[in-house]
Structure 1
Amino acid sequence: MILYDAQRHIFHLQTEEFSYVMQILEDGQLIHRYFGQRVNYFGDHPLVLLNRSFSPNPTASDRTYSLDTQLLEYSTNGLGDFRESAIAVSYEDGSSLDLRYRQHRIYKGKKALAGLPSSYGDDDQVESLEIDLYDDYLDLTVTLFYSLFPETNMLAKSVKVRAGQRAVCLEKVLSLSLDLPDSAYQVHTLNGRYAQEKLWTISELRQGKFSIESRRGASGHAQTPFIALADEQVTEDSGQVYSAHLIYSGNFVAFAEVNQLEMTRLGIGINDYHFRWRLEAGEEFQTPEALLSYTNRGFSGMTQTSHHFIRKHILSGKYKEKTRPILVNNWEATYFQFTEQKILELAEVASQAGIEMLVLDDGWFGHRDDDNSSLGDWFLYQAKLPNGLAHLVQKVNEKGLDFGLWFEPEMISEDSNLYRQHPDWAIQMAGRSHRFGREQLVLDLTKPEVCDYIVKSVTAVLESANISYVKWDMNRNITNPSDDLANDVKQEFYHRYMLGLYDILERLTKAFPEVLFESCSGGGGRYDLGMLCYMPQTWTSDNTDAISRLSIQEGTSLIYPTLTMGAHVSAVPNHQVGRLTPLETRGHVAMMGNLGFELDLTKLSTQDLSGIKEQVKTYKAIRDTIQLGDFYRLSTKSENEKAYCQVSSNRDQAVLTYVKILAQPESPISRIKLKGLDPDACYDCDLLGRSYYGDELMRIGLDMPLIQQDYQSVQYLFNKKRGENL
């Protein structure tokens, strides 16, 4: 709930787990007072007022009050707070900004953000607060938006800036700024690179600033728009964790700054790199939305909060909480060299194995036989598919499979009809030559006519055949950005690109609500909450090696639910790292996400095909638990082994996956303790031929088999007994 004490000018936002408190001072400054474990009432706790040397004071008579030593709710530039500000402006005669409280509004429900993806909730699920801060010299209003989701322990925050009678340039505007009174934290982020995304990284927090960012025009493989501060002694199950997400898919920054008084400022928002947004009189700028949460239940608590919130308040449409189909993708089976006959042969074997969908990847359009041509020409490559796309889809459907198709709509090839007709549609800077990546360029989505073309061309394909799934790829970051509106004060291109992309996605996903859209950017290069608002599934990584996927999927699991995570079984030697892993292990790892296959089923041995049929059968029995249940990382003796438990929402079923990476001589026995079970229930395990009580599995644990080969795994399925005891 959101409470306002008019006498003390205190806002108190409460969820089931945390309290968030702000106060308006007599001079109109909005001060942050507390964020942490829920309290029933925030009493008359005085501000810390100290005479600090070299800390500027608003009045000459009071040396104890300085913005540089206070916890601020939304910090500004130029008035004596020397930390990283949340907002910075410039105007014709200065650059300081003095924001004071003007008014506020509290109401049920939540407003959508114009042109941007955001969380959502019904009136009984969310309550909102708007606080207007005002600079009377500039006639500038900054509105802070707070939407509280009490049951899911999340606070959504965003900012809108409105110019009054004077023009102003935004140099920076963050979505979230949080001041904490201490600094005994470690910083947790998800870093990496192409084919090794979402690596859980822990960094020390010291005086000064720690930051991550993207300048690529996409959230990127290297960083994820997420940051967490956690107690130094935090565990999976206990300790304080403050976490912040950004619902945005473009350039972002996230930082944690410790000042000279060991106070910490946490911030996240649009990167101010190549960002300068001019507001004429009366114009507005809306930031993306940030999500803020707190738990004292360790990383497992943060994970459960994030997973539940994303499933209930980020994902939308038909596939919001609908299980995903088991698919086979032809990419690693054929790459560009496929024919209609080959695709139908693949579909036939897939159907026999119980697979539910076939996805035709890159190479079906234009005259594309490699990655040097045809992007932008979204019409059928007749030489490969002479009978037409609708015919192919019908034949695949007749085999009992749904059909999916790959697109890369944001890109253009120089060797394409589209480029020959509209060379100016490619992002380019006057006087500069193109910079190529994968022999392709990026379309300029700041142009409405380009966005219209993409919507029209993709719509024509989707309407031409019974297509159930779209894999939306993006394999190239932005270079040579340029504004058609450019002058010495505007640097708006990167954000306008994202607004164009979101407009395209909004139009297409609304026009085709029955289609499952999966986002991809060379794998996980744009795996973020902005994309998940439109596309409820992401291709986690182009790296399909089971052992590499352990760290990739574990980092992803820190904040993103399994329902959003594509995971495939591929051939060996693995195409990315050359590793040889058993089919069983590849299956067990892929079954921790949305199971698919990325190999040529027509070339498998009878034994391997039988193994895949068994994997498909097993996955169908556990799919609801894997995709819609709760995910737990389990404690192991070393990084050489990994264990995870996935439990159905009603706690009737649990799946334990254990992987031993390298064999070791005389290795100790690993005892794994499960989580999330009903402690009083009895669970059968057919593989072990016996039953266990939930508390037995969670408190005593289960001994793993002694494994004497590399890259081995086991998967145990536990089903709750009905109406009987051991």
Structure 2
Amino acid sequence: MPIHTSPTSWVIETKNTGYAIGLNEAGLLTHRYWRARLPFAADYPAPVNPIERSSFDMPQHYTPEEYPGYSALRYFDPALKITFADGTRDLVLHYVDFSTSASPYPELALHLKDEAYPLSVTLHYRVHEEYDLIARWVTLENLGNEPILIERAFSAKWTLPHGDDYFFSHMFGRHNNEYNMKREVLTPGLKTIESRRLTTSHHHTPWFAIDRNATEDSGEVWFGTFAWSGNWKITAEVTEFASTRISVGLNDWDFAWKLNPAETFVTPESISGYVKDGFGAASRLMHDYVRNILLPHKNQLHKVLYNSWEATLFDVDEISQSKLAEVAAGMGIELFVMDDGWFHNRNLDNAGLGDWFPDKTKFPNGLGGLIKNVNALGMDFGLWVEPEMVNPDSDLYRAHPDWVIHFPSRARTEARRQLILNLGRTDVQEYIISVLTTILSENNIQFIKWDMNRNVSEPGWSDAPGDARELWVRYVQGLYHVWGTLRERFPNVIWQSCSGGGGRADFGILHFADQIWISDNTEATARLSIQEGFSQFLPANTMEAWVTDWGRNVVPLEFRFHVSMCGSLGVGGNLNEWDQADRELAAHCIRLYKEIRPIIQFGDQYRLISPQKSMFSAVQYVSKDQSEAVLFVFRVYLSDPTNLPMIHLRGLNPTALYEVDGYSGPRSGASWMEAGLRVELKNLQSKILKIKQVE
């Protein structure tokens, strides 16, 4: 087992990394090491034992505690903040003992307890040895007879090797412009990224990377994410003593949790790792972890889908959708998805949300006729839903106006003319489970696109079971209960997470969803940047990417297809307006994608030239056995004359011979990687080059 223990020290080892903790002479649980794996457990450094520098800088302040609470003379950012029933806001944790387990993954649990109050704190460590990842979370248990108020409960505080020369990478954006990479120097103090929106958010992404002059292919990188689909917070702190720490967990803004006697509170997982080989290596570890550990349908190729939204908007019926399905099937589409507009009284976005049964005017005989037509064409059928929302103009809202998130004394702010149902409520959860169970039981539906098109306002809950500020957590727990229940009942259905695009893209939702709709922006040149940012922590098979009509007068259809083929390919354009040449090109691209999609969806991704830094970009996918690869190259706009850069392939076997489409004669993998190749393109041109090992 990759966990070495003694009465006062613990070492966690993955395939290539070591992580060490120990009790110092003061009895404080202290971080010791997080870097490359060492040969022997005894090689890891001992816990530090700082001395008092002055009354302003006591030893606790610069001891790298593994999970410090707010107490005494600690002035750095704490991992845990508690108020006890008598008003005491001070936490003094003492180590008690530890335990280990081996199934299904090795785990270490370190048990702590407050010295005077009945609060137990357990630090959990799960080892994903092959992926060089450690998952951490915390369990709080009230052992007493009075409630305890939790005001902050981070899942982990990650301590880096001593120093103040780190760079902090994170992603920011907005709706239609997600996943912009930012790499900046960490300076003394706190750097915070977060979501306060009830969802993961378009605006910041729960991912971080810390490096010391690393590149895509080399250098030390410490990286991680938070497996949660609601409010989150990541803080990077550099203290005055050059201690650098990353705290990851639930956002404590407007948060409180009333922990009643005999109850426990369990935080979500913080998942992190370390590599010596740059940002690309970190990404590939996370990609493998997601594909092999998280996803419900782990090794299932994702089908090429068509979504009818841009063609018909809300004007859907059996005839119009069946005609689109015929065109889609002729191009080689495998999955037909009907979007918004199919349910009761849904003609615009101002009515119908909440009433999840087919509109009798549009579908007088239900969805069965359309689904039969789609299946007869050799395609699966999928459906769009937005169950977390309700329009005030709906039967559901008229029956249950109290079901929405609101303050009774305030007006209910609408966004996109809709309100948010409170999924923290069990009656709301059971309603959503019931109506979707009916739809899925009565119809042959193989795919669900689950959308959420607004963020929270007036976050009130007048009859909450505990503190009203528990809403932020109880809502997401309710969402997971709904998704989990439906997944158990309909295990073969593929679910896609969408929140106006990339507003809910995280490791938490991927326990239930196989795909993520990463942006409502489907303009191909913009998508290059969005897709690259997404790839920092999520793999190509989770990335639904449509070919649409955005930019059709400027950007060639082939370019648009090539961009979308970098993920899980979909088509969303208005096929009624595509001429025969467009449809034939689409059929050609879809045939090519089906040929190469195992490499794209399950292979290793290499970001060769970044579209966030250059108008000429390249990305490569390599099969796990290194026998095949695919290179995508894009040129958006560069003034001529220009000298396009050499492209250096990655991930090939250096001593094997490979052929590359369009290049005469085989060359060694080392030659393709070191000497490189040149791809000549004009503005708004792209190429896909297949690479195959020949000996």
Among 637, 640, 648, the alignment partner of 2:623 is 648
1:211 aligns with 2:211: no
Alignment match, 2:117: 138
Does structure 2 conserve the Cα–Cα contact (< 8 Å) formed by 1:2 and 1:11? no
Does structure 2 conserve the Cα–Cα contact (< 8 Å) formed by 1:659 and 1:714? yes
Structure-2 change in CA distance of 1:301 and 1:396 (3 Å): same
Query: How far did residue 465 of structure 1 move?
Result: 1.3
Query: How far did residue 485 of structure 1 move?
Result: 4.1
Structure 2 residue identity aligned to 1:35:
W
Structure 2 residue identity aligned to 1:188:
S
State the secondary structure of the residue aligned to 2:67.
Answer: coil
Query: How far did residue 315 of structure 1 move?
Result: 1.2
Alignment match, 2:6: 6
Alignment match, 2:579: 605
Q: List runs of 5+ in structure 2 lacking aligned partners.
A: none
Q: Find the aligned partners of 1:360 and 1:587 in 2 and give their Cα distance.
A: 21
What value does the CA root-mean-square deviation take over the aligned residues? 1.7
Q: Find the aligned partners of 1:550 and 1:587 in 2 and give their Cα distance.
A: 12
Query: How far did residue 487 of structure 1 move?
Result: 9.8
1:311 aligns with 2:291: yes
Moved more, 278-287 or 48-57: 48-57
State the secondary structure of the residue aligned to 2:131.
Answer: coil
Moved more, 291-300 or 33-42: 33-42
Does structure 2 conserve the Cα–Cα contact (< 8 Å) formed by 1:55 and 1:68? no
Does structure 2 conserve the Cα–Cα contact (< 8 Å) formed by 1:200 and 1:555? yes
Alignment match, 1:581: 555
Structure-2 change in CA distance of 1:337 and 1:486 (3 Å): closer
Q: Find the aligned partners of 1:324 and 1:492 in 2 and give their Cα distance.
A: 37
Structure-2 change in CA distance of 1:348 and 1:93 (3 Å): closer
Q: Find the aligned partners of 1:386 and 1:600 in 2 and give their Cα distance.
A: 25
Q: Find the aligned partners of 2:412 and 2:110 in 1 and give their Cα distance.
A: 46
Alignment match, 2:22: 23
Structure 1 residue identity aligned to 2:126:
S
State the secondary structure of the residue aligned to 2:127.
Answer: strand
Does structure 2 conserve the Cα–Cα contact (< 8 Å) formed by 1:27 and 1:100? no
Does structure 1 conserve the Cα–Cα contact (< 8 Å) formed by 2:565 and 2:593? yes
Alignment match, 1:63: none
Query: How far did residue 89 of structure 1 move?
Result: 0.5
Query: For 1:529-544, what aligned pairs fall within 5 Å after superposition?
Result: 529-544=507-522
Among 78, 85, 90, the alignment partner of 1:85 is 78
Query: How far did residue 30 of structure 1 move?
Result: 0.5
Query: For 1:308-347, what aligned pairs fall within 5 Å after superposition?
Result: 308-316=288-296, 319-347=297-325
Task: Normalising by structure 1, report the TM-score.
Answer: 0.92
Alignment match, 1:119: none
Among 72, 82, 89, the alignment partner of 2:65 is 72
Query: How far did residue 322 of structure 1 move?
Result: 0.8
Describe the superposition over 1:1-28 as per-residue Cα deviations: whole angstroms up to 9, x where unpaired. 4444536x21111112111111113443
Structure-2 change in CA distance of 1:485 and 1:368 (3 Å): closer
Among 196, 202, 219, the alignment partner of 1:221 is 202
Describe the superposition over 1:280-334 as per-residue Cα deviations: whole angstroms up to 9, x where unpaired. 2222111011101111111011011111111112112xx2121100011001122
Structure 2 residue identity aligned to 1:69:
Y
Q: Find the aligned partners of 1:473 and 1:589 in 2 and give their Cα distance.
A: 23
Query: How far did residue 340 of structure 1 move?
Result: 1.9
Among 429, 444, 461, the alignment partner of 2:422 is 444
1:197 aligns with 2:178: yes
Q: Find the aligned partners of 2:649 and 2:277 in 1 and give their Cα distance.
A: 17
Among 140, 147, 151, the alignment partner of 1:161 is 140
Q: Find the aligned partners of 2:176 and 2:322 in 1 and give their Cα distance.
A: 30
Structure-2 change in CA distance of 1:714 and 1:43 (3 Å): closer
Alignment match, 1:616: 590
Alignment match, 1:596: 570
Q: Find the aligned partners of 1:692 and 1:191 in 2 and give their Cα distance.
A: 41
Alignment match, 2:523: 545
State the secondary structure of the residue aligned to 1:432.
Answer: coil
Structure 2 residue identity aligned to 1:679:
P
Does structure 2 conserve the Cα–Cα contact (< 8 Å) formed by 1:278 and 1:489? yes
Describe the superposition over 1:51-104 as per-residue Cα deviations: whole angstroms up to 9, x where unpaired. 4123464xxxxxxxx110111100111221210000000122411101011010
Q: Find the aligned partners of 1:464 and 1:373 in 2 and give their Cα distance.
A: 24
Structure-2 change in CA distance of 1:54 and 1:568 (3 Å): same
Q: List runs of 5+ in structure 1 lacking aligned partners.
A: 58-65, 110-121
Q: Find the aligned partners of 2:166 and 2:50 in 1 and give their Cα distance.
A: 24
Alignment match, 2:252: 272
Q: Find the aligned partners of 1:572 and 1:265 in 2 and give their Cα distance.
A: 43
Query: How far did residue 687 of structure 1 move?
Result: 3.9
Query: How far did residue 271 of structure 1 move?
Result: 0.3
Q: Find the aligned partners of 2:89 and 2:524 in 1 and give their Cα distance.
A: 53
Alignment match, 2:275: 295
Give the share of equivalent positions with the same residue, in percent.
36
Alignment match, 1:52: 53
State the secondary structure of the residue aligned to 1:703.
Answer: coil
Query: For 1:89-488, what aligned pairs fall within 5 Å after superposition?
Result: 89-91=82-84, 92-109=86-103, 122=104, 126-165=105-144, 166-180=146-160, 181-231=162-212, 233-316=213-296, 319-485=297-463
Does structure 1 conserve the Cα–Cα contact (< 8 Å) formed by 2:208 and 2:224? yes
Q: Find the aligned partners of 2:554 and 2:220 in 1 and give their Cα distance.
A: 41
Query: How far did residue 651 of structure 1 move?
Result: 1.5
Give the number of equivalent residue pairs.
Answer: 689
Query: How far did residue 230 of structure 1 move?
Result: 1.2
Does structure 1 conserve the Cα–Cα contact (< 8 Å) formed by 2:21 and 2:31? yes
Alignment match, 1:61: none
Structure 2 residue identity aligned to 1:296:
K
Q: Find the aligned partners of 2:118 and 2:27 in 1 and give their Cα distance.
A: 16
Task: Normalising by structure 2, report the TM-score.
Answer: 0.96
1:515 aligns with 2:516: no
Does structure 2 conserve the Cα–Cα contact (< 8 Å) formed by 1:28 and 1:101? yes
